[in-house]
Structure 1
Amino acid sequence: MARWSLSWGNPYTQPPGPRVLAAVLVERGQPCPAEVKALWSPGCGYVISWQLVTQRPIRRWSAEAKAKVRRRNLRDRLERKVPLFAEILIAEELERRPSYYAGGEEDARPLPGGRA
């Protein structure tokens, strides 16, 4: 669903009437309804606007996808910052937080000592 509305366009001034003159819910992708267009005139200070009211469901990452991205980001970050010690530090971090790098929901915490 989407909402077409005729509302006051200048946020720094008070409208002469109500802030929203008209609002109509329509199916997503439909053009502006005639009843909203009929109330608008050039220079009146009101604007026709469109807002998405519903959205698609949020797609969550699988644990495998999270694990893959977290390990890749760890490797990229350490190879960029400390290339000579990257493999050692990666092994330490994977040992320290195995559930996080397996795609678990553990909170992301910075490494101790300011590493990476």
Structure 2
Amino acid sequence: MSDVWPTELRVSADKRQLTVTFDNGARHALTAEMLRVMSPSAEVQGHSPEQRKTVGGKKDVGIMKVEPVGNYAVRITFDDMHATGIFTWSYLNELGIQKDEKWAAYLAELEQKGLSR
């Protein structure tokens, strides 16, 4: 997964989706909500698995800006002003490949904690 290189990143007109196309032919459409709640930032992930936070209430979040970070990642600024996550190419590819499983686990976690999208 770490050897993928993006050939295109496209934010949808409504700012609710980022589509990433990779040089291996993979193409992943990732919702802004999913990217926001699974941000690789310390604010969301913590500094250990025990510190990871479940983020709810982001159903209507949008993408304001996507900026390159070196040649290995992008920083996404969301319209709730969260902008501290650095999304590496391999992490974006992982989210795309495991989208259904990760989303199902997130929804189950929300339900378990009494949170809503």
Which category describes the TM-score, using the shorter chain as reference length? under 0.3
Q: TM-score, normalised by structure 2?
A: 0.25
Which one has a larger percent strand, Structure 1 or Structure 2? 2
More helix by share: 1
* Larger Rg, first or second structure (1 or 2): 1
TM-score (norm 1): 0.25
